Amino acid sequence: MKRSSSWSSLKAPRAPVHACRQALAALLTFILLCQTMIACSSPSPIPAQFDAIERIPIHTVLVHGQQIAYLDVGTGPPVILIHGFGGSMWQWEHQQHALSQHFRVLTLDLPGAGLSDKPEIEYRPDQMLDFFVGFMDAVKVPQATLVGNSMGAGLAIGMALAHPTQVDKLVLIDGLPPQVMEKLTSPSVRRALETSAPSWLVSFGNRLFGGLMIESVLREIVHDPALLTPAVIERSNRNRQRPGLIKPILAVKGSLPLWESGFATRIGEITHPTLVLWGEEDRVFPLAVGEGLHQTIKGSRFIRVPKAGHIPQWERPDVVNQELITFIRR
């Protein structure tokens, strides 16, 4: 795989850890992170089309020497949709048709996720921001409305603070608050972020037992269990088997302190028009966390999404799409 010299500070491999209890922690870590329903459905090569409500061509572009997969539909003011922790472009399958009637909608798999390359970098906030700016340059979008879910909202916040002229408006969906670990209420996500198990052990546990707990973890993230169809479970199982997925996921733990010190303390400095959308039944970051984020960003709007968990755009697209269209068109 190609690597860019500008994406520096490659990680050295960790020493093996022998404690048996680490194996359980590692297994739970990966099972969580393969969460998402939202995962892309075939390992490699990159499929030609994205099957959402309608078939959409999948594009690729090189950013810092890495191949990035993305969707590009519609015309008009550009909107970029950013998935969350362990997710992929599938988080936004229900937004493609509705939003593309009004905007140019770009939906990407971040480096280390989905169909995009998974380089041997540390996935620090500054590296991800550098990548995101490079992606906008590559697709010739000088400024866009950024819509982020969960940790994708954290990346959107980072862009608003570090590259404010490239952000038009900001939409934060169930993330990302300051003091993440203090406000986190999901046992599975907490285990994932607190594990010290090495990636080789997580990979081993995933191969042996990863399929056993997918549905229970999804039930912690998704409010309505009826949405967890066999096809959704299968999609998640396919994603957890994707080569190279584990190291980028485990790297998030080391990035959180950098997010807290570099960006979380500055959220109150955001001056862009901002919409905060939050699932009323979110069991990862409860509703009160979203209300606090809204109060921190002066002039922001706050919308509660009923009967939705941590990924309301996937559970309640009827509500979320209308709110997005109304806000972005203002």
The per-residue pLDDT for range 140-173, each reduced to its tens digit, is: 999 999 999 999 999 999 999 999 999 999 999 9
**For residues 263 and 97, what is the distance between their CA atoms, to the nearest angstrom?**
33
Q: 149: which strand partners?
A: 173
Is-contact 73 98, C-beta < 8 A?
no
Residue-wise pLDDT for 310-330, tens only, equals: 999 999 999 999 999 999 999
Return the H-helix or E-strand segment holding 59.
strand 59-63
DSSP 242: -
178 DSSP 8-state letter: S
Going by their DSSP bridges, the two strands 66-73 and 301-305 should be labelled as: unpaired
For the chain, domains (ranges, CATH) are: 20-329 (3.40.50.1820)
Helix or strand (DSSP H, E) at 303:
strand 301-305
The predicted pLDDT at position 16 comes to 46
Give the E-state strand segments of 58-204 in sequence order: 59-63, 66-73, 78-82, 104-108, 144-149, 167-173
The pLDDT value given to residue 18? 46
Determine the longest span between alpha carbons in the chain, in angstroms: 57
Q: Could you tell me which of 314, 316, 321 has the C-alpha nearest to residue 306? A: 316
Q: Phi/psi of residue 216, each to 5°?
A: -65, -35
List the chain residues with pLDDT less than 50: 1-20, 23, 25-27, 29-43, 53
User: Quick one: pLDDT at residue 4?
Assistant: 38
Residues 6+ apart with CB under 8 A from 180: 256, 259, 260, 264
Structure tokens at 73: 């539909």
- Rounded to a whole number of angstroms, the CA Rg of the chain reads 18
261 Cβ neighbours under 8 A, 6+ residues apart: none
pTM: 0.84
pLDDT at 219: 85
pLDDT for residue 51: 60
Amino acid identity at 60: T
Q: What is the pLDDT of residue 65?
A: 97
CA distance to 21, 41, 216, 229, per residue, from 233 (Å): 27, 11, 10, 6
